[in-house]
Amino acid sequence: MNIPIPPSFHPDAAQSDIFPDKGEYVLKVSIGNPPFDLYAIADTGSDLFWAQCLPCDQCYPQKNPKYDPKSSSTYRNVACPSQRCQLLGTTSCSPPSNTCNYTYGYAAGSLTQGVLATETLTFASTKGSPVPLPNVVFGCGHNNTGTFNENEMGLAGLGRGSISLISQISPSFGGRRFSHCLVPFNTPPTISSKMSIGSGSEVSGPGTVTTSLVASQDSTFYVVTLNGISVGSTYLPFNSSGAVTKGNVFLDSGTLPTIVPRDFYNRLEAEVRSVVKLTPIDDPQLRPQLCYGRDVQAQGPLLTAHFDGNADVVLKQTSTFIEAKDGIFCFAMTPIDGPGGIVGNFAQTDHLIGFDLDGNTVSFKPTDCTKL
């Protein structure tokens, strides 16, 4: 497949580098005065932006120095009670200082606890000069536990909620929209791609397809409708009945595999098995995943995700079969007992993906993200 030349970013757009990190992606954000470089997980599946903060009462090991609010002249605690303190539904006041304490949890069991505060964030721009944004609400995390690794200094919530980093900063750059391009899994960590925020981050041009965001009860998620997936030329509907509920999946850069209902998964896996003319590898540590040797990345089928609005997104073999152990590549989807699903970051790689919160759309454009 011919990969289109990546577009240049708009001169008014804010920009940030995104680096691959063991299946997650970390976004470079400068926080405080003087600016302190923070590398936080880029997560479209949550809202809160937080950093590991000194003093760290209970923190996961971190390779880089932790952010120290006392060393920044622009750090301010959020007052409690206040409107800003209520932006997050899991806050409480702590007399006599009346700090706004928060607790924020994740589906995988990870947890951050601390105080809400405001800080100045500084972003690179395509104009060349850095752009400081004062009074951004974030979580100063003093107790952080879970599946974080030593390169991750916090988490950048990029969801649709009012406290998310995107909701807070994108209006300063001309619109509630952003785009990112995730490099393939196992790309060397020295190779970064770009996130563009605000006016000019729109995804357009030849090869672009667009689907509608669907309103949902949870204001955080980028919910879309997946009608089905083709394995090669064989189309498999999301539901065996053929009828699809609108808003049945959401896009989550913080989740690795694509997660689909068990019936759909079983049909997909059976079709992949029938198409791949290689012998599966049965590794006891990887069961029950469907795994093959390295040849599957050359000989495996192309999968096409069919989103509402005739938005067909082709997933290359590098997005569909992921190296789980040395020389063993496994099908990058997993089943769940439930009606909905998640499009994880494996499936999002090598596409420039634009999220438009004002226009309620998501656009996809095949792109070599290592060239951005």
Catalytic residue among 47, 252, 350, 356: 252
Catalytic residue among 43, 47, 350, 356: 43
Token couple for 267: 């049909």
Residues with Cβ within 8 Å of 274's Cβ and at least 6 positions away in sequence, in order, are: none
Token couple for 329: 């590549």
Q: How many CA atoms lie within 13 A of 60 on its CB side?
A: 17
Distance, in Å, from the CA atom of 95 to the CA atom of 39, rounded to the nearest integer, reads 32
Residues with Cβ within 8 Å of 146's Cβ and at least 6 positions away in sequence, in order, are: 60, 106, 108, 109, 110, 111
> Which candidate, 213, 230, 176, 152, places its Cα nearest to that of 361?
213
Distance, in Å, from the CA atom of 98 to the CA atom of 118, rounded to the nearest integer, reads 15
Residue that has been written with the tokens 């083709």 in this structure:
230
| Cα–Cα distance list, 337 to 173, 259, 261, 330 (Å) | 41, 10, 6, 21
Edge-to-edge strand list for the sheet holding 258-261: 222-224, 249-251, 341-343, 258-261, 333-336
Residue 312 a catalytic site member = no
Residue 252 a catalytic site member = yes
Q: Kindly list the catalytic residues.
A: 43, 252
